[in-house]
Amino acid sequence: MLKLAILAYSSVLFAKVVTSAAIALSLTAPENVSQPVLKSFVSFSIEFSSFPDFAGNLSHPNNFSYNLLKNLGDLQGSNPIIRVGGNTQDYATFNATQKEQLIGTVNANRSRDYPTTISIGPSYFDSYSTWPNISYIHGFNLGKNGSIGHDTLVDTVPLVCKALASPDGKSPKLAAWQLGNEPDLFKTSAQGPVRPSWWNETDYVQEWLNKTRSVIRALVMENCPEVVEQGKFSFYAPSFAGTSNSLNLIKTWDQGIDADHDIGFVDSHNYIGGAEQPGVTLQGTLMNHSSTVASVAKHLNESRILRSQGVTQPYILGETNSLYNQGKPGLSNSFGAALWGVDFNLHCAANNIRRVHMHQGTNYRYASWQPIQTVNESIGTKTPYYGNVAVARFLGNEGGRAENVTVSEIDLSESESGASIYHSAYAAYLDGRLARLAVIQMQAYNYSSPSSPGSSQRPVERFSFQLGNDQTGTAAAVKSITAEQLIANGSDAITGVTFGGYSFNYELDEGRPVMLKNISAAEDVQIQQGGVFLVDVPWSSAVVLNFAY
Ligand SMILES: *[C@@H]1O[C@H](CO)[C@@H](O)[C@H](O)[C@H]1NC(C)=O
Ligand SMILES: *[C@@H]1O[C@H](CO)[C@@H](O)[C@H](O)[C@H]1NC(C)=O
Ligand SMILES: *[C@@H]1O[C@H](CO)[C@@H](O)[C@H](O)[C@H]1NC(C)=O
Ligand SMILES: *[C@@H]1O[C@H](CO)[C@@H](O)[C@H](O)[C@H]1NC(C)=O
Ligand SMILES: *[C@@H]1O[C@H](CO)[C@@H](O)[C@H](O)[C@H]1NC(C)=O
Ligand SMILES: *[C@@H]1O[C@H](CO)[C@@H](O)[C@H](O)[C@H]1NC(C)=O
Ligand SMILES: *[C@@H]1O[C@H](CO)[C@@H](O)[C@H](O)[C@H]1NC(C)=O
Ligand SMILES: *[C@@H]1O[C@H](CO)[C@@H](O)[C@H](O)[C@H]1NC(C)=O
Ligand SMILES: *[C@@H]1O[C@H](CO)[C@@H](O)[C@H](O)[C@H]1NC(C)=O
Ligand SMILES: *[C@@H]1O[C@H](CO)[C@@H](O)[C@H](O)[C@H]1NC(C)=O
Ligand SMILES: *[C@@H]1O[C@H](CO)[C@@H](O)[C@H](O)[C@H]1NC(C)=O
Ligand SMILES: *[C@@H]1O[C@H](CO)[C@@H](O)[C@H](O)[C@H]1NC(C)=O
């Protein structure tokens, strides 16, 4: 399978090079560069009901998942942070005598993709001990009200303490806390409302404060007081589904949600569109920079208003991916979606969304990997993972100095194809100096039915950059540039992706990087006189360039 894919790829002749005028590339960070990204910018959210599949248990740790996480940690200098949550966190109740980690019942009327009746036992929390050196956010149940909800919280807080707290302060396992997933949909959920129509921001905030104070904090003080002493009693909140649902994030701050000063991160969720939404296409919805910009703009607006009100916590996306309802087959699992993922994440980074958790679940169409074999989906690394790799590589491992990496979006309107919605470029600066450049070409190239009639040749967009077009930087300071390509047969490919010539496939070495033959590895880019260099980017591919001084 894999060999065939590679042969097919190498037989494609790239043609029809389109050249562009030189795009100025500053060697020093421009004034409007982003704030530094947070450590673990590339992070994940794993569906609560799927977590045992992804992590395994004490006797059967899921090493494949761990290998994939560690690759990203090695590339970006800090392992991804895992938020365990999603819709199913608000369905899960606790049974102290249950042996199984999780017993779930699927009701296809509510969702085909995950159980909506869930009971977890004490062994559920064993999955927090299978991966070394990974930290977590456990999503507590807010959806269940009344005594069941109360009992679930009371029973599970001590178990989370036991699983994640670090009495000696040396274990990095606890990243943050979370109570409730997308409470802005509680009144309107298509899976059945869990709050009455009158439940507004005031009611939500009162309930959130009451439960975080009188239940969670009280039990933490009793079971793992070091969490508070170590400054780790810090929440991701309010974890709303979006910016225009039945509760408004700004109003929750007005209503005093941070009265206890325990919200460490302003957490919002985002999807570009819905899997079943009419008119959704790969080119129009995902491989479309304008679509990504419009989707992220709602959050930038919200974050700007919060900052103007003196809220200083970082704004992050604690759950996001391409298309809600777990993604659309042929779109969310295609190589085009991997390219979308690179554009989306880098656009976030360039605009002060400081960490992004890509949502995962067993059998989900948009998943970066399938952790176990099921009747619906084979175990394996999926195309979106390669987008995660490119983002982590772009941010770079600077020996834990993520806090000095800033990102800037490059204006491509000077390029020959102008202000196209089908390409984008970003620069990463380390200590204010140009370190890497990413160029993403998003014109769909459908290899299974090439778009240009009568031709199977894949067009290439040529970008011409001019280094050091500013007062301080001189092009001569750059000694060399190397390029690593993110590529597959086309935007419709669902296998055969490589980054810099590496595959991370399950079949090769259980997700560890394997350099493939017959695929171009990192290549040197020639710097011409005057600091001009050319980058040829085939349609439906991306490239990450590294600058050495
Ligand atoms: C930063 O400034 C450049 C050039 O002045 C502009 O093209 C770009 O849109 C700005 N970026 C942001 C995020 O404001
Ligand atoms: C651990 O995982 C293995 C393999 O999936 C499974 O057979 C076993 O029952 C699990 N153990 C527990 C306690 O759930
Ligand atoms: C998983 O990794 C652990 C730690 O490296 C190792 O002890 C164990 O044998 C591995 N399990 C499998 C099934 O490879
Ligand atoms: C844990 O991961 C961090 C990066 O996230 C790394 O710096 C550190 O060396 C790792 N520790 C161990 C024991 O592997
Ligand atoms: C809890 O689990 C035990 C052991 O499986 C089972 O007998 C009992 O019925 C469960 N309780 C509830 C309320 O489901
Ligand atoms: C699902 O909906 C159908 C049609 O409304 C109904 O007959 C069936 O009982 C429902 N199933 C469940 C488990 O609620
Ligand atoms: C609890 O939720 C139910 C809907 O599931 C609702 O009817 C009830 O009013 C809620 N109670 C409170 C106090 O929110
Ligand atoms: C929520 O509803 C109550 C009762 O109607 C009202 O007093 C309060 O102002 C409302 N809160 C908001 C934020 O609108
Ligand atoms: C606050 O929490 C306590 C203890 O769980 C509960 O009895 C009470 O009803 C809650 N009050 C509100 C307003 O939610
Ligand atoms: C690209 O996205 C923008 C913004 O959502 C939209 O207006 C435009 O129609 C999209 N382009 C295509 C070709 O669908
Ligand atoms: C941005 O916020 C303003 C209020 O300050 C609002 O009027 C506008 O509709 C918002 N735009 C978006 C895209 O959410
Ligand atoms: C970050 O950069 C500043 C100057 O740009 C430098 O003083 C500081 O040491 C750097 N921090 C780290 C952790 O490298």
Condensed to tens digits (0 to 9), the pLDDT of residues 379-407 reads 999 999 999 999 999 999 877 666 799 99
> Taking 60 as the threshold, does the pLDDT of residue 152 lie above it?
yes
Domains and CATH numbers, the chain: 7-33+407-548 (2.60.40.1180), 46-53+79-383 (3.20.20.80)
| 294 C-beta closer than 6 A to ligand 11 | no
Looking at the CA of 399, which ligand is closest?
A: 4
Yes or no: say if 476 and 543 are a contact pair by the CB < 8 Å rule.
no
> Taking 90 as the threshold, does the pLDDT of residue 18 lie above it?
no
> Taking 50 as the threshold, does the pLDDT of residue 188 lie above it?
yes
| Local confidence band at 10 (pLDDT 50, 70, 90 cut-offs) | very low
pLDDT for 452 equals 53
Looking at the CA of 431, which ligand is closest?
A: 12
Whole-number average pLDDT of the chain: 93
Average pLDDT estimate for 7-22: 46
Looking at the CA of 247, which ligand is closest?
A: 8
Give the Cα-Cα-Cα angle 24, 427, 531 (nearest 5 degrees): 40
Q: Give, using CA atoms, the residue closest to atom 13 of ligand 1.
A: 351
pLDDT for 450 equals 58
> Taking 90 as the threshold, does the pLDDT of residue 144 lie above it?
yes
Q: Give, using CA atoms, the residue closest to atom 13 of ligand 12.
A: 401
Judge if pTM exceeds 0.85.
yes
Instruction: Give the integer Cα–Cα distance in Å for 74 and 273.
Output: 32
Backbone angles phi, psi at 386, to 5 degrees: -65, -25
Closest to 439 in 3D by CA, of 536, 330, 548? 536
**Ligand 11 center–CA 255 separation, angstroms:** 20
Cα distances (Å, whole numbers) of residue 335 to 28, 339, 342, 418, 451? 33, 7, 11, 24, 16
Share of the chain above pLDDT 90, in %: 87
pLDDT tens profile 325-381: 999 999 999 999 999 999 999 999 999 999 999 999 999 999 999 999 999 999 999
- Whether 414 is catalytic is no
Q: Give, using CA atoms, the residue closest to atom 3 of ligand 12.
A: 431
Residue type present at position 44: F
- Whether 302 is catalytic is no
Higher pLDDT, residue 10 or 285: 285
Query: Ligand 7: which of 141, 194, 202, 246 to mutate, most ligand atoms within 8 Å of CB?
Result: 194
pLDDT for 20 equals 52
| Local confidence band at 454 (pLDDT 50, 70, 90 cut-offs) | very low
pLDDT tens profile 470-528: 544 567 789 999 999 999 999 999 999 999 999 999 999 999 999 998 777 899 999 99
Write the CB contacts of 398 (distance below 8 Å, at least 6 apart in sequence): 77, 404, 405, 430, 435
Average pLDDT estimate for 177-190: 97
Write the CB contacts of 497 (distance below 8 Å, at least 6 apart in sequence): 335, 338, 383, 386, 486, 487, 488, 503
Instruction: Give the integer Cα–Cα distance in Å for 546 and 480.
Output: 8
